Amino acid sequence: MTKKECIAMLLAGGQGSRLKMLTKNQAKPAVPFGGQYRIIDFSLSNCAHSGIDTVGVLTQYKPQTLNSHIGFGDNWDLAGLNSCVTILSPYAGEAGGNWYKGTAHAVYENLSFIDAYESQYVLIISGDHVYQMDYGLLLKYHKEKQAEATIAVVEVPWQEASRFGIMNLGKEGVIEEFEEKPAFPKSNLASMGVYIFNKNILADYLHADVKDKTSVNDFGKNIIPKMLRDGRRLFAYPFKGYWRDVGTVESYWLASMDILDEKDGINIFDSEWGVYSFHTPQPPQYVGAAAKITGSLIAEGVYINGEVEHSIVFPGVQIHQKAIIKDSIILPNVRINSDVTVNKAIIGENTWIGEGSVIGDRGASKSIIPKVTLVEDNQQLEPNSSWNLIEAAGV
Amino acid sequence: MMLDVMGIIHHIKYENCLQSLTECRSMGAVPFGAKYRLIDFVLSNMVNADIKNVGIITALNLRSLLDHLGNGREWGLDKKRDGMFILPAASHSLRRKSIVDLEDFYVNIDYLKRSKQKYVLIAGSNVIYKLDYNKVLFFHEENNSDITLIYKKDQSWNVGQEPQVFLKIDDNQRIVGINTKCKVKKTDNVSLDTYLIKKELLLEILAECYLQKKWDLVKHVLAKKLKELKICGYHHQGFSTVINSLNSYYNYQMELLLPEKGKDLFISHGAIYTKFNDSPPTKYYPGSEVNSSLVANGCVIAGKVNNSVISRNVKVEREASVHKCVIMPDCVIGKGAYLEGVVLDKNVNIPAGTVLKGSQHVPLVLGKGWESWEERAVEVHE
């Protein structure tokens, strides 16, 4: 193997159960997002643009969609002479096999993969975050500070700070304290779940961590606090830009609308930092004579002859005459027949909605926390169905 | 099932019929249907019929075509065994008026001989249709035909555009007359520039052409051998055309805006493959009005668009209006501009407030990267 200065380990094994039906058939990083992408495309594209050309993708929960989406990484320019994407799933050894018990344990199980590249630094990233970030700058910062580990942080609104892992900093970005979901946060700098470690130190801590029976084998809960207790050189790298953890149905909906509204600089139209993906071939979109589309993102292979306002429509969707779609996300290959109303809803893949149906609440409430109606994948909704938040299963 | 057929996409000798559109690229690389290039259609038909060995004859103006085709990956033709082969034409000259120039085949005879398939399917890069070649092969074998030509019945309004090949066909689907000059009747059998032939027969024909130094498959071989060989016509009924003039280039795209025609070409009988592109979904701003149009990815639309074909990464700014136009990738239509019956080649930047009009059947064409500094209003009359 070619020697690498820094390789990335991308955590993509989580179930993301708070995304409910969206992760019923696939891991969270594989959930469709932004009109034609899957969430993991953002991290993989960041790697491609940042010059990180060797990526291990750690998978565990329902990985089939994810595996076939990534393929051998050529769509992210990660397949070549000196670059690759390797899917790393749990495996069996002489002493039997192990499921990944936590993020740190997943990396521990694959230390031999990291060793093969003799890399000096290891970048740990997540496959379920939406952001456009240059990891090259993070690595440069890490080297300049002669840090042993660097954690990327982003400012979050103070009122939301107690939902995150919060970093309290000393001089020049030194991390003095890390608090997981503090009730009374002392700062609003949240950990993004993006870390760079010196490889040898990481290996030492991972070895120690698996021996610790009380540990849940998690980077945020165990490894970072332990390193802080030991007085290691930990620095925070301030990231300026859009970053979201798409953890719940509501945050999924909000982040989707942010993409639509280009909030805080997230820009899928950026020609320098475009989001790469894998798509199946689709014809151009056809916009019919009766269509009315405003403020929306529409993918290829879509047929629209209805009204679409402030919504995201994925490939292969059909929206027929007099259907009205508002503030909604329509996932791939959904068919919405005529006279259907969809309001503030997420419609799962391949679902068929009979004419005259009403999805979501007719009168949109203007509460701060959005109430989003979710319709599962592969459903057949009879004509004139009514489906709103209360009736939606699992909500 | 693997078809025992190889494909050859022949080089079009009358490329310049598309005027400025083929000044900077070869015929096969001309953008068509919002996200495709002309060659995508015939190439996709081939791979959809499981043809796995395709030779593409090319001459000058290669850059854009080669960039588009790459290693054939998007068509599944990046293979160890067979795959896509780029073949040089015999000469770069466009002066020859051959419809299918067999000298281009002759200089690549080693490739033909080395290929293992029994049949050769020959097609031009500018034929637009969706056709299952399995049916053609079945027809060919059923009729015990030596050569099968594919044709459509058409009432061509683009009469006089060369080259059109008209066929006289008897009740048994045998071709009894080939005419390249006749005045077109109301309905006529028009060749779709697609030929199925046994490779052994093709090799014999090539040897004969070499001795006679006459190379046109249609004029010098087929038209002369109607009695000697059994040459049959396969009637294709779906949406189809040969792009051989600016008129046909423009009007067939306008026709694609009828939903049933578009569906016939884009969706029925397998996908059309094209170069992979990472453009984001198209963004419609509040206040945009788009109707009866085909739109590719990556566009940003704030103005009005109707009855138009809009390619990738096109920007239509506020109060701009695009009506019955074909807009190629990366164009910008400035604020308040008005375009009607216009074909914009790639990278054309229309300044704010510009008014451009073509006439009903003769579009106004602005070449690649066209820029206007002074003329604020250009109106072209028939």
- pLDDT tens digits, residue range A309-365? 999 999 999 999 999 999 999 999 999 999 999 999 999 999 999 999 999 876 555
Cβ contact, residue pair A299, B271, below 8 Å: no
Same domain assignment for residues B288 and B148? no
Same domain assignment for residues B256 and B290? no
Answer whether residue B302 shows pLDDT above 90: yes
Assigned token pair, A85: 């994407």
For residue B32, give the chain A residue with the closest CA.
Answer: A284
Q: Which of A60, A91, A86 is nearest to A72 (CA)?
A: A86
Cβ contact, residue pair B35, A284, below 8 Å: yes
Which range (A134-143, B155-164, B204-213, B248-257) has the least confidence? Answer: B155-164
pTM, rounded to two decimals: 0.93
Domain presence at residue B129? yes
DSSP code string of A182-212: -SS-S--EEEEEEEEEEHHHHHHHHHHHHH-
Strands A341-343 and B364-366: unpaired
Q: What is the value of ipTM here, to two decimals?
A: 0.92
Chain length of chain B: 382
Nearest beta carbon to residue B266 from set A35, A274, A283: A283
The shortest C-alpha distance from B276 to chain A (Å) reads 8
Cβ contact, residue pair B281, A276, below 8 Å: no
Answer whether residue B377 shows pLDDT above 90: no
Chain B residues inside the 8 Å CB shell of A286: 259, 262, 293-295
Domain presence at residue B91? yes
Answer whether residue B187 shows pLDDT above 70: no
Domain presence at residue B359? yes
Same domain assignment for residues B200 and B325? no
Q: Is the dihedral of CA B358, B363, B367, B369 positive or negative?
A: positive
Residues 6+ apart with CB under 8 A from B225: B231
Once rounded to an integer, what is the mean pLDDT over residues A371-384?
A: 91
In contact, B83 and B56? CB cutoff 8 Å: no
For residue B288, give the chain A residue with the closest CA.
Answer: A294
DSSP H stretches of helix in chain B: 38-48, 63-69, 102-106, 109-114, 133-142, 199-212, 246-255, 259-266
Round to whole Å and give the CA distance between A196 and A148: 8
φ and ψ at residue A137, rounded to 5 degrees: -70, -35
φ and ψ at residue B32, rounded to 5 degrees: -155, 140
Q: Which of A123, A121, A63, A119 is nearest to A87 (CA)?
A: A63
Answer whether residue A169 shows pLDDT above 90: yes
The shortest C-alpha distance from B158 to chain A (Å) reads 27
The shortest C-alpha distance from A82 to chain B (Å) reads 20
φ and ψ at residue A161, rounded to 5 degrees: -60, -30
Round to whole Å and give the CA distance between A194 and A229: 20
CATH number at residue B28: 3.90.550.10
For residue A34, give the chain B residue with the closest CA.
Answer: B281
Chain B residues inside the 8 Å CB shell of A288: 259, 291-292
The shortest C-alpha distance from B69 to chain A (Å) reads 15
Chain A residues inside the 8 Å CB shell of B298: 269
Answer whether residue B81 shows pLDDT above 50: yes
Cβ contact, residue pair B290, A291, below 8 Å: yes
Cβ contact, residue pair B262, A286, below 8 Å: yes
Answer whether residue B15 shows pLDDT above 90: no
For residue B305, give the chain A residue with the closest CA.
Answer: A287
* Per-residue pLDDT at A395: 37
Chain B residues with at least one Cβ partner in A under 8 Å: 33-35, 74, 259, 262, 266-267, 271-274, 276, 278, 280-298, 300
Nearest beta carbon to residue B284 from set A277, A289, A296: A296
Same domain assignment for residues B93 and B236? yes
Q: Side by side, which strands form the sheet with B326-327? A: A380-381, A352-353, A335-336, A318-319, A303-304, A285-287, B293-295, B309-310, B326-327, B342-344, B364-366
Nearest beta carbon to residue A287 from set B273, B285, B291: B291
Cβ contact, residue pair B274, A277, below 8 Å: no
Q: Which of B128, B106, B91 is nearest to B13 (CA)?
A: B91
SS3 of A313-377: the string is ECCCCEECCCCEEECCEECCCCEECCCCEEECEEECCCCEECCCCEECCCCCCCCCCCCCEEECC
Strands B53-58 and B5-10: parallel
* Per-residue pLDDT at B381: 42
Mapping DSSP to helix (H, G, I), strand (E, B) and coil, where does residue B56 land? Answer: strand
Once rounded to an integer, what is the mean pLDDT over residues B284-291?
A: 97
The shortest C-alpha distance from B363 to chain A (Å) reads 22
| Half-sphere exposure in the Cβ direction for A38 (13 Å, CA) | 25
Same domain assignment for residues B43 and B111? yes
Residues 6+ apart with CB under 8 A from A155: A188, A189, A190, A238
Chain A residues inside the 8 Å CB shell of B273: 281
Mapping DSSP to helix (H, G, I), strand (E, B) and coil, where does residue A51 land? Answer: coil
Domain presence at residue B170? yes
Q: Which of B11, B213, B206, B181 is nearest to B93 (CA)?
A: B11
- pLDDT tens digits, residue range A182-215? 999 999 999 999 999 999 999 999 999 999 999 9
Mutation site, A258, A285, A304, A314, interface B, largest B CB count within 10 A? A285
CATH number at residue B334: 2.160.10.10
- Residue A261 CB neighbour total at 10 angstroms: 11
Same domain assignment for residues B208 and B316? no
Residues 6+ apart with CB under 8 A from B98: B13, B215, B216, B217, B218, B219
For residue A299, give the chain B residue with the closest CA.
Answer: B281
Q: Tell me which of B266, B296, B326 is where a domain ends.
A: B266
For residue A276, give the chain B residue with the closest CA.
Answer: B278
Q: What pLDDT band is residue B185 in, cutting at 50, 70 and 90?
A: low
Residue B125: domain span = 2-266
Round to whole Å and give the CA distance between A70 and A57: 9
Position with higher pLDDT, A367 vs B147: B147
Once rounded to an integer, what is the mean pLDDT over residues A146-155?
A: 97
Domain presence at residue B275? no
Report how far apart, in Å, the C-alpha atoms of A197 and of each of A121, A217, A237, A310 are.
6, 16, 13, 42
Nearest beta carbon to residue A300 from set B267, B285, B297: B297
Once rounded to an integer, what is the mean pLDDT over residues B317-342?
A: 97
The shortest C-alpha distance from B120 to chain A (Å) reads 27
Assigned token pair, A49: 């643009």
Domain presence at residue B273? no
* Per-residue pLDDT at B184: 59
Query: Which residues partner with A387 through β-bridges?
Result: A359
Q: Which of A166, A180, A246 is nearest to A216 (CA)?
A: A180
Cβ contact, residue pair A269, B276, below 8 Å: no
Same domain assignment for residues B158 and B241? yes
* Per-residue pLDDT at B156: 55
Once rounded to an integer, what is the mean pLDDT over residues A110-129?
A: 96
Q: Which of B308, B333, B45, B31 is nearest to A286 (CA)?
A: B308
Residues 6+ apart with CB under 8 A from A119: A3, A4, A5, A6, A7, A54, A199
- pLDDT tens digits, residue range B116-158? 999 999 999 999 999 999 999 999 999 999 999 999 987 654 5
* Per-residue pLDDT at A380: 94
Q: Tell me which of B238, B266, B294 is where a domain ends.
A: B266
Round to whole Å and give the CA distance between A141 and A139: 5
Same domain assignment for residues B207 and B296? no
Q: Tell me which of B216, B237, B266 is where a domain ends.
A: B266
Cβ contacts from A onto B, under 8 A: 97
Nearest beta carbon to residue A268 from set B280, B284, B286: B280
The mean pLDDT value of chain A amounts to 92
Same domain assignment for residues B251 and B288? no
Domain presence at residue B87? yes
Residue type (1 letter), B128: I
Cβ contact, residue pair A298, B282, below 8 Å: yes
Once rounded to an integer, what is the mean pLDDT over residues B22-35?
A: 94
Answer whether residue A389 shows pLDDT above 80: no
The mean pLDDT value of chain B amounts to 90
Cβ contact, residue pair B259, A288, below 8 Å: yes
* Per-residue pLDDT at B164: 80
What angle is formed at CA A340 by the lines to CA A339 and CA A341, rounded to 5 degrees? Answer: 120
Answer whether residue A120 shows pLDDT above 90: yes
Same domain assignment for residues B125 and B87? yes
* Per-residue pLDDT at B17: 86
Give me the number of domains chain B comprises.
2
* Per-residue pLDDT at A394: 40
Q: Which of B30, B197, B240 is nearest to B100 (CA)?
A: B197
Same domain assignment for residues B54 and B192? yes
Same domain assignment for residues B218 and B359? no
Domain presence at residue B325? yes
* Burial of A380: CB neighbours in 10 Å, binned 0-12, 13-18, 19+: exposed
